[in-house]
Chain A
Amino acid sequence: MRLTLKIWRQENASAQGALQTYDLDGISADMSFLEMLDVLNEKLQGEGQEPVAFDHDCREGICGTCSLMINGEAHGPEVTTTCQLHMRSFNDGDTITIEPWRADAFPVVRDLIVDRSAFDRIIQSGGFISANTGSAPEANSVPAPRDKAMRAFNVATCIGCGACVAACPNGSASLFMGAKITHLGELPQGQPERYSRVVDMVAQHDHEGFGGCTNIGECASACPKEIPLDVISQLNKDLRDAMRMGL
């Protein structure tokens, strides 16, 4: 198939960027979206132009490295990551606009690559259970109710890709944060730090410059791992309880 690509090119964080148009032919429906970009990059290099920089690594939908706003949708039209999106989701002759995640907390590094280290800092602020190596009790000494463990797992599948932020009209990272708070808060091991965790993570989130949540729900529909919106409700509940405790 033949495509017209409009791709955001930006030399570095401080440079001005712009959408550039490229024509690309000979794309097969079996290619993944990133393989299509590989083809473009081989072509560009053949013509002596620098390839388009984009983030990618595992290419099997689990590492969370790939991003891309494709025709206005985070990770494109399917509920999956960009690396698992295939060209059969597009038609011959399509024009595809490809932009980086847009959020001031995710500054553009180059072309389609953004800096998501704000997520690391949110985890650093409290997204963990303090358990030094070697101090753990026997694993089966604390049973965890199966339904709670299942909910913990379901939301722990978050890959930290940032699609929720990219899709949110407010640029909020509440879904990312809520997923971690729910994951750790549903497990017995997570209880001792449950309320300080939510307070600290929310403070860091706001400090990073992410927007506030107005419960629109674009995040959950963009999430390639289908993290549900109720993790934000859980976050709010835990935050309310924490405030009641005076934290």
Chain B
Amino acid sequence: MASTVDVSGNTVLTTPPNQQSDDAHGYYTLGEKIADTKAPAGPIKDRWTTHKMNNRLVNPANRRKLDVIIVGTGLAGGAAAATLGEAGYNVKSFCYQDSPRRAHSIAAQGGINAAKNYKEDGDSTYRLFYDTVKGGDYRSRESNVYRLAEVSANIIDQCVAQGVPFAREYGGLLDNRSFGGVQVSRTFYARGQTGQQLLIGAYQAMERQVAAGTVTQYTRHEMLELIIVDGKARGIIARDMVTGAIETHLADVVVLASGGYGNVFFLSTNAMGSNVTAAWRAHRKGAYMANPCYTQIHPTCIPVSGDHQSKLTLMSESLRNDGRIWVPKKAEDCTKDPRDIPEEDRDYYLERIYPSFGNLVPRDIASRQAKNVCDEGRGVGPMVGDFRRGVYLDFADAIKRLGEDAVREKYDNLFDMYERITGENPYEVPMRIYPAVHYVMGGLWVDYDLQSNIDGLFVTGEANFSDHGANRLGASALMQGLADGYFVLPNTIREYLADGPFDAIDESHPEVVAARTEVEDRIQKFLSINGTRTVDSYHKELGNIMWEYCGMERTEDGLRKAIDMIRELKADFWSNVKVLGTADSLNQSLEKAGRVADFLELGELMCIDALNRRESCGGHFRAESQTEDGEALRHDDEFAYVAAWEFGGEGGQPVLHKEDLVYTAIEMKQRSYK
């Protein structure tokens, strides 16, 4: 690849992409190119230090005059609320849950990466940066990722000081384990509940600020609209989910830390309430949505057991270290007791296709091959729709080799969980697993300061797009959430707030009234349609479309079909949905209606983004872009850019803004796992 020298003297290792194909022609309009104007120049290791130094400070006496709204109380939002509260800002924190402690960060199992190099195994900030960029399939922004790696060590210090009970060695020092296929041990963990412990740490720090009076928490509140006045984000419209009251909250700055949108697939490992509404409302008001099609699908989840299924449960990837994955060679064997299927009639397909990596291929590959064998009719377990969606994860060999006790010692909590959910004993019968939507790398576009293209609207954690490219490595989500909340946002938001406090506005301002009216009208609309179908039935149907056509493998035809189907479904939703109850009471159907309406719009954009990106990278696999062996094929010459989508108005086409990905510290390479 050619290299050039940019204005700041950095050697640029990429050439700007030049897109030739245009699969999404007719679905979008091409807008101006954009660039991260805040991205610092100079040697990568100095960029964050320099940038922090250059960002202006806010006088402590002024801080309490500055109002900060933070939507979401997960790792990114909770940590930011605590830190900004400690600094003396006047913080208002919102969450839809009944307590900030219940945000879905709590469900993360494995651990959190940090370049501490406690094992003296050659880890460093640069190596963590390198692994994360490579893991993201070279679709992330290098300055952001380097900063993430740089602050990772501070996160561990901070969490330990807060009393997070990380695993320790006998000498009382912190323990590490390796994770997600990297060659160093840099993952800090608290058994299989690391997310829970980190979140409780952030929650307690935040509650301390509530007691101190710097943070006011609004639980069971859902943000339904963003208020923009004179081009600046100045507040939100929120609904009190208990009384139904529509509230206006004004501030100098708004931070969205509202998590990911995996629930667009209906079935996912996300919490039932996780939604895109906060981000989508901002998008509709002008914030760009970046790379929405990048979805992470995790291979080892407990399969769907029937149409009633509401949620999928993840099991640690570590199971693949000892379990062998197979399906019957013949479709007629799929209903047999697996123990009665002789060895020669079993297809250990990962070991067959990937002899060197076998069952330990990366998440995206393991997931896609599971889908392939099920689509061939060789899936196992209960019939869901037209297919059996499950493959065996068999521990019989491991039990024979290591003994049942050894297997029990390693995996008993996972085996117990599996048995509780399925009622089957995995020591005797092979487990059944199937991939499930787990995380989204896409999100609102932000610059190096984590500010969206709307002034005063900052986006952190899974809700933004910035750090994971097209695929996220294990134990990196927790790292990003806390990095954003504790260390990045507090140091970048001050540059913006140094110009504040901004002109006072009141609730009668026309923009505020308009936002409020929009929310009220929409609620009245939901309640007045009085159709025949429940909100959940629409959500399930949307999920099926997304999973089928915008899931593990995407094709041009499939995506076009999906877009049509979603448009039809959306039209039907707005004329035939049934939402009972009233606006001024706790009404869970009404809450869901708003979320599903936004998912319907997001789903369409995801398909358009996937259609446009005629390459395979990370979690995005386009069938048209694969090697002869069926492996993912990236096209850096055409697609080494961030796709930032601007809302094109009701019924209009989305506008694509491209941000070229420039690498000066790392060279792009193609992945291979054969």
Contacts and interface: CB of A to CB of B under 8 A. Distances in A.
Complex A–B touching at CB under 8 A = yes
B43 interface: no
A30 B97 CA distance: 27
Q: Chain B, interface size: which category?
A: 35 or more
Interface stretch (B303-311, B562-570, B602-610): B303-311
A6 interface: no
A86 B424 CA distance: 13
Interface string A74-110: 0000101000101010000000000000000000011
B172 A143 contact: yes
A140 B163 contact: no
Given A149-B165, A149-B172, A35 B309 contact: yes
B653 interface: no
A70 interface: no
Given A128-B163, A149-B165, A153-B191, 10 more contacts: A35-B309, A35-B310, A38-B536, A110-B586, A123-B204, A131-B158, A131-B161, A160-B99, A184-B163, A187-B165
Given A29-B423, A129-B161, A153 B310 contact: no
Interface in A140-178: 140, 142-146, 149-150, 152-153, 156-157, 159-160
A133 B158 contact: yes
Contact of B82 (A55, A133, A142): A133
Contacts of A49: 580
A189 B201 CA distance: 13
A57 B158 contact: no
Contacts of A11: 585
What are the 3 tightest A-B residue pairs by CB atom distance, in nearest-first order?
A143-B172, A136-B161, A128-B204
A115 interface: yes
Nearest to B118: A140
Interface of A: 11-12, 28-32, 34-35, 38-39, 42, 45-46, 48-51, 53, 55-60, 62-65, 78, 80, 84, 86, 88, 109-110, 113, 115-117, 119-120, 123-125, 127-140, 142-146, 149-150, 152-153, 156-157, 159-160, 183-184, 187, 189-190
B283 interface: no
Contact of B107 (A45, A63, A131, A157): A63
B219 interface: yes
Interface string B163-207: 101111111111000000000000000110100110010011101
If over half of A's interface residues share one DSSP class (helix, strand or loop), that class is named, otherwise mixed; here it is loop
Contacts of B82: 133
B554 interface: no
Contacts of A48: 580
Nearest to B195: A62
B185 to A, nearest CB: 14
Contacts of A142: 160
Contact of A115 (B98, B190, B207): B98
Interface string B85-98: 01000000000011
A139 B156 contact: yes
Interface in B419-463: 420-423
A128 B85 CA distance: 15
Contact of A63 (B104, B167, B197, B490): B104
Contact of A39 (B106, B211, B308, B589): B308
Interface string B556-598: 0000000000000000000000101100011011000000000
A67 B209 CA distance: 28
Contact of A58 (B107, B203, B219): B107
B588 A53 contact: yes
B536 A57 contact: no
Contact of B163 (A53, A88, A183): A183
Q: Which of A48, A78, A134 has the most CB of B within 10 A?
A: A134
Contacts of A65: 97-98, 102
Contacts of B154: 134, 136
B313 interface: yes
A129 B162 contact: yes
Contact of A31 (B168, B205, B308): B308
A74 B436 CA distance: 30
B104 A57 contact: yes
A178 to B, nearest CB: 16
A244 B638 CA distance: 73
A28 B308 contact: yes
A91 to B, nearest CB: 14
A55 B98 contact: yes
B490 A133 contact: yes
A38 B310 contact: yes
8 contacts: A31-B306, A57-B97, A110-B585, A116-B98, A129-B163, A143-B171, A146-B170, A187-B163
A149 B168 contact: yes
A98 B562 CA distance: 41
A58 B308 contact: no
Contact of A123 (B160, B207, B586): B207
